[in-house]
């Protein structure tokens, strides 16, 4: 399946304005009360800031006109009482109302992103550009949305305040007003416009390096990599890469820092300080010449200080909008992305057959040269040290060359009730075949038929609901045992609890369950709950397997269902799975590197180099003396002890 390359446009003024207006609309749709409160807050403070300037002017003019002490005291006490009354609701808004509304908005935005992520094509994770947009959307969207709304509120507040102050200054001295306005425009807007473009360019150019640093941090932070870091020299390689990346960032910081110093340290200060002190000198001259009263002088000096602060805040708020738009464009690009896997509309009947007709598949080439070289270096080192052994690494089928054909010309039919095993070396296409069955990807050639009907015609969600799958890279969640098995459908009622217990029994987890004090309600992992239980690899795998037995799936798919178990536990689990499937007339497809497991299958499919090379029962394939027979013989020594033990066990029923 080919997918369009995701591109990101350079953020300009028009696109920034469009993104900001669009996010306002989204916030209004998700949490309108937040915008209403913010608008009222901005208008209130615009009025207060303007009133303060006029109040100071009136107070000093009263002194000029000979008003006594108590007359002036009334002005001061009135102002103090006003601020006292206004700061109580101000603190209520900032400390209670605003945080509550923001939390609700964040949740609703993330809920929308979660739903989008759940529906998006699996191929999106293969595209680093799109995945980068996805990560940015998850990490930045709610914060940027709030900051955009706040920035627009600040623009309204400071714009109205600035207009009111400039209006006051025009009543004092027109030329001073023009000088102050021009100087502050240069200091606040021109400099910030240039600086904003400079920092956006810096963020864009350095983002790949920031991503690389974050990745290396995760490698050393996550337990997934702990064993590999201690068993080879990958840690040294990562540290060297981090050191190199840090050096590149330092060089970029120095280059940008020199430009920023000239811009802000020289141009900004000349415009701002020159306007400030020049205006004061002119006003002192007017005061000495009697052309302005003390109240007008005090108002002008106070207005000058407030205007500089207000216009700088206005400039900062305006400068934030295109900076946030850089993130918001990625957020909207993610939301606007249209899946290439288009759902059909037909209802899905009970399963009878699944047919592949000349199916071929290729992944889009998405790895960069640097990523490919890094992966090849790691693999070469592991092979050299003998740390990569056949059958132990995950079979992703994708290799280092994602542009190559993974499956070619596959023709086969799987029938209801069959137990089918898929075997082959890593990279043979086994896991990719499973992804095509589940319609996580679409074939690049050929078609897949469900009961003789092209799977494109079925409602995608309903089609996948017929299939239960356990992948080799399964995950347990920080939730209870029951919730891990049944998910959001678990309600704690006796009926659903019985379903979960039956599923765990089919996955041979009943013995371990009996040792857990809280039983089905035992929290798993200690990431959130310190009383949680960390299961062993084999135990966790059984919980994951139970998921396919808790619902009446027509087709069960298991990718390495017993990879974390010892031979005895593997034998017991395989018998339990097959017996449970037989009792419920389920069709089972499972991938395995351990060929002793495949002996229980009705049919074995051997893949090599993306092609279906051999198929038949264990006995038939052994008699053929082909690739399967050679693979089995190579593992025979490993399993002889297991086979001897198996002969002492009663036959499966």
355-384 pLDDT tens trace: 999 999 988 654 444 444 444 544 444 444
| Mean pLDDT of the 231-246 span | 80
Cβ neighbours of 14 (radius 10 Å): 8
Give the pLDDT mean for 489-493: 77
Of residues 622, 634, 627, the one with CA closest to residue 607: 627
- Helices 191-221, 294-336: crossing angle, 10 deg rounding: 50
User: Mean pLDDT, to the nearest integer, of 322-348?
Assistant: 81
In this structure, the number of other CB atoms found within 10 A of the CB of residue 552 comes to: 11
351 within 8 A of 555, measured Cβ to Cβ: yes
121 close to 341: Cβ distance less than 8 angstroms? yes
Q: What is the pLDDT of residue 388?
A: 42
Range 590-601 average pLDDT: 79
- Grouping H, G, I as helix, E, B as strand and the rest as coil, residue 387 is coil
Residues 618-639, mean pLDDT to the nearest whole number: 83
* pLDDT over 50 at 484, yes or no: yes
State mean pLDDT over 53-67. 73
Q: How far is the CA of 541 from the CAs of 227, 338, 447, 485, 490, in angstroms?
A: 19, 34, 32, 11, 20
* Full 3-state SS string of 157-222: HHHHHHHHHHHHHHHHCHHHHHHHHHHHHHHHHHHHHHHHHHHHHHHHHHHHHHHHHHHHHHHHHC
pLDDT, tens digit, 9 for 90 and up, residues 548-569: 888 888 898 888 766 666 666 6
**3 falls in which pLDDT band (50, 70, 90)?**
very low
Q: In the predicted model, what is the mean pLDDT of residues 252-271?
A: 81
pLDDT in tens, 510-545: 889 999 988 998 998 887 778 888 888 888 888 988
Answer yes or no: is pLDDT of 649 > 80.
no
Q: Using one digit for the tens of pLDDT, what is the confidence trace for 35-53?
A: 898 888 888 888 887 777 7
For the record, the structure tokens of 260 come out as 């920023």
487: left (phi over 0), alpha (psi -120 to 50) or beta: left
- Interval 128-144: pLDDT, tens: 667 767 777 777 788 88
418: exposed, middle or buried (C-beta count within 10 Å: 0-12, 13-18, 19+)? middle
Select the more confidently predicted residue: 653 or 191: 191
For residues 194 and 541, what is the distance between their CA atoms, to the nearest angstrom? 56
Most confident listed range (234-238, 279-283, 342-346): 342-346
Q: What was the pLDDT predicted at 392?
A: 38
Name the residue with higher pLDDT: 631 or 9: 631
């Amino acid at each position: 399946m080919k997918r369009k390359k995701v591109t990101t446009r350079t953020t300009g003024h028009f696109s920034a304005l469009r993104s900001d207006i669009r996010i306002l609309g989204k916030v209004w749709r998700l949490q309108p009360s937040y915008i209403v409160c913010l608008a009222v807050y901005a208008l209130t403070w615009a009025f207060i800031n303007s009133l303060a300037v006029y109040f100071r002017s009136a107070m000093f003019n009263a002194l000029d006109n000979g008003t006594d002490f108590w007359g002036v005291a009334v002005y001061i006490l009135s102002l103090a009482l006003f601020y006292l009354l206004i700061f109580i609701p101000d603190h209520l808004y900032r400390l209670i109302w605003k945080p509550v509304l923001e939390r609700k908005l964040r949740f609703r935005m993330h809920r929308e992103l979660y739903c989008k992520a759940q529906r998006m094509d699996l191929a999106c994770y293969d595209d680093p550009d799109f995945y980068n947009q996805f990560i940015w959307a998850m990490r930045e969207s709610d914060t940027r949305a709030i900051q955009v709304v706040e920035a627009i509120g600040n623009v309204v507040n400071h714009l109205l305040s600035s207009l009111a102050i400039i209006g006051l200054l025009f009543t004092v001295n027109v030329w001073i007003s023009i000088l102050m306005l021009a100087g502050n425009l240069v200091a606040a807007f021109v400099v910030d416009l240039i600086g904003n473009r400079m920092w956006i360019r810096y963020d864009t150019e350095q983002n790949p390096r920031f991503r690389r640093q974050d990745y290396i941090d995760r490698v050393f932070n996550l337990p997934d990599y702990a064993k590999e870091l201690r068993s080879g020299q990958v840690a040294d390689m990562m540290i060297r890469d981090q050191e190199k990346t840090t050096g590149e960032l330092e060089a970029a910081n120095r280059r940008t820092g020199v430009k920023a110093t000239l811009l802000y340290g020289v141009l900004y200060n000349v415009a701002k300080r020159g306007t400030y002190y020049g205006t004061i000198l002119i006003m002192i001259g007017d005061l000495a010449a009697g052309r302005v009263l003390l109240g007008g002088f005090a108002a002008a000096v106070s207005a000058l200080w407030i205007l500089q602060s207000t216009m700088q805040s206005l400039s900062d708020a305006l400068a934030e909008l295109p900076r946030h738009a850089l993130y918001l464009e990625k957020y909207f690009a993610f939301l606007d992305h249209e899946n290439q896997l288009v759902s059909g509309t037909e209802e899905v009947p009970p399963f009878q057959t699944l047919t592949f007709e000349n199916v071929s598949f290729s992944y889009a080439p998405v790895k960069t040269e640097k990523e490919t070289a890094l992966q090849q270096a790691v693999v070469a080192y592991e092979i050299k040290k003998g740390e990569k052994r056949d059958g132990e690494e995950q079979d992703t089928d994708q290799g280092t060359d994602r542009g190559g054909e993974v499956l070619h010309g596959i023709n086969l039919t799987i029938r209801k009730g069959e137990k089918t095993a898929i075997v082959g070396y890593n990279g043979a296409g086994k896991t990719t075949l499973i992804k095509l069955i589940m319609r996580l990807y679409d074939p690049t050639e050929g078609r897949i038929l469900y009961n003789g009907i092209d799977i494109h015609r079925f409602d995608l969600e309903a089609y996948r609901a017929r299939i239960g799958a356990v992948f080799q890279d399964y995950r347990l969640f920080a939730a209870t045992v029951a919730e891990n098995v049944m998910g959001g459908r678990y309600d704690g009622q006796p009926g659903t609890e019985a379903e979960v217990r039956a599923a765990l029994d089919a996955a041979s987890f009943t013995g371990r369950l009996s040792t857990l004090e809280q039983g089905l309600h035992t929290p798993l992992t200690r990431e959130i709950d310190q009383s949680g239980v960390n299961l062993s690899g084999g135990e966790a795998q059984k919980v994951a397997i139970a998921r396919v037995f808790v619902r009446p799936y027509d087709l069960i798919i298991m990718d390495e269902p017993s990879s974390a178990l010892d031979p005895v536990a593997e034998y017991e689990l395989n018998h339990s799975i097959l017996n449970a499937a037989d009792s419920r007339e389920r069709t089972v497809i499972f991938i395995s590197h351990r060929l002793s497991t495949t002996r229980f299958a009705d049919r074995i499919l051997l893949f090599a180099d993306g092609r279906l090379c051999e198929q038949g029962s264990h006995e038939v394939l052994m008699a053929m003396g082909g690739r399967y027979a050679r693979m089995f013989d190579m593992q025979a020594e490993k399993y002889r002890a297991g086979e001897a033990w198996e002969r002492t066990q009663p036959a499966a029923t």
